[in-house]
């Protein structure tokens, strides 16, 4: 896209696979120096493919997050763009919500919401002192519509949207922009896990394979009647990091084929 990002440094938390990898790949294609944080076994292979430095960081470990942020910033000299692309589900199908054991809530909140806050707290003072940069957090359309398929995930992503607004207000005086990006129906491992949790509760008469289930859901809830792709999400993520989006902060932007419309 040639968005003028050449030579800048972008760190993608959750960059080893899925949406994070797609975002890291596009940043690299734009000429950015890319760093990866993840705990996935795919971290080494993705880092090798992108010729990117990598840090094995668990976002629920506050001390590790702070230490790794300092080390990552020092490695690049400064970080221009930070993307939080981490997300986990409860592994249980809601509908109704009391079918989800309370013990499944805390791990989802710790990764999706508290983990995001931990990463933001570690990097925000560094961005503020430099008085420039962007932070982007991947939420979900589930955080806007009260998705019944996975209430802990939906609640955590809703909290993340609100946190991004708080962070954007705090960092605006320093010229640092913070936004939230909500994917719709993307064929990721997380999306498949939602189907699996549903499928585990079906009888032989109501069971559908993943492709059939997903096609029916897309036909029902996505006005454009098609999947969103990792590349769709990456294109918006990289655009939001560019000077073309210089007046965009505190926003929740959906790349969802029209799934969520507010009027």
Burial (Cβ within 10 Å: 0-12, 13-18, ≥19) of residue 5: buried
Say which residue the tokens 């990792």 belong to: 230
User: Is 210 a known active-site residue?
Assistant: no
Contact 172, 132 (CB under 8 A): no
pLDDT (0 to 100) of residue 141:
92
pLDDT (0 to 100) of residue 221:
85
pLDDT (0 to 100) of residue 263:
55
Contact 13, 82 (CB under 8 A): yes
pLDDT (0 to 100) of residue 97:
84
pLDDT along the chain (263 residues), means of 10: 92 97 98 98 98 98 98 98 93 79 93 98 98 98 86 95 98 98 87 79 87 87 92 98 98 94 71
Query: Global pTM?
Result: 0.92
C-alpha torsion angle, residues 149, 144, 155, 88 (rounded to 10): 70
pLDDT tens, residue by residue, 86-109: 999 877 777 788 888 899 899 999
Kindly list the strands in the beta sheet with 81-84, ordered across the sheet, starting from the edge strand earlier in the chain: 54-56, 33-38, 9-13, 81-84, 134-138, 177-183, 252-255
pLDDT (0 to 100) of residue 79:
98
Angle between helical axes of 151-171 and 115-130 (0-180°, round to 10): 10
Q: CA 38 to CA 56: how far, in whole Å?
A: 5
pLDDT tens, residue by residue, 44-72: 999 999 999 999 999 999 999 999 999 99
Say which residue the tokens 């939080």 belong to: 84
How big is the CA angle at 168 (ends 26 and 124), to the nearest 5 degrees?
Answer: 75
pLDDT (0 to 100) of residue 201:
79
How many CB atoms are closer than 10 A to CB 85? 27
Among 55, 73, 137, 153, the one annotated catalytic: 153
Q: CA 199 to CA 205: how far, in whole Å?
A: 11
Domains assigned to the chain? 9-186+228-255 (3.40.50.720)
């Amino acid at each position: 896209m040639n968005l003028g990002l050449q030579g800048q440094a972008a760190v993608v938390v959750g960059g080893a696979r899925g949406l994070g990898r797609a975002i890291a790949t596009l940043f690299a294609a734009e000429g950015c120096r890319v760093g990866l944080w993840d705990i996935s076994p795919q971290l080494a292979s993705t880092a090798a493919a992108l010729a990117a430095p990598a840090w094995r960081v668990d976002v629920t470990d506050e001390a590790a997050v702070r230490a790794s942020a300092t080390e990552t910033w020092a490695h690049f000299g400064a970080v221009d763009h930070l993307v939080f692309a981490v997300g986990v589900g409860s592994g249980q199908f809601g509908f109704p919500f009391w079918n989800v054991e309370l013990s499944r809530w805390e791990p989802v909140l710790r990764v999706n919401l508290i983990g995001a806050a931990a990463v933001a707290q570690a990097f925000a003072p560094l961005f503020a002192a430099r008085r420039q940069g962007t932070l982007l957090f991947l939420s979900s359309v589930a955080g806007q519509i009260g998705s019944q398929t996975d209430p802990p995930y939906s609640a955590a992503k809703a909290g993340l949207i609100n946190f991004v607004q708080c962070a954007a207000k705090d960092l605006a005086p320093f010229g640092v922009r913070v936004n939230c990006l909500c994917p719709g129906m993307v064929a990721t491992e997380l999306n498949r896990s939602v189907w699996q949790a549903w499928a585990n509760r079906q009888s032989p008469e109501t069971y559908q394979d993943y492709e059939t289930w997903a096609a029916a859901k897309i036909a029902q809830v996505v006005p454009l009647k098609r999947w969103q792709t990792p590349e769709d999400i990456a294109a918006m993520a990289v655009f939001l990091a560019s000077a073309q989006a210089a007046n965009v902060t505190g926003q929740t932007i959906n790349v969802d084929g029209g799934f969520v419309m507010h009027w």
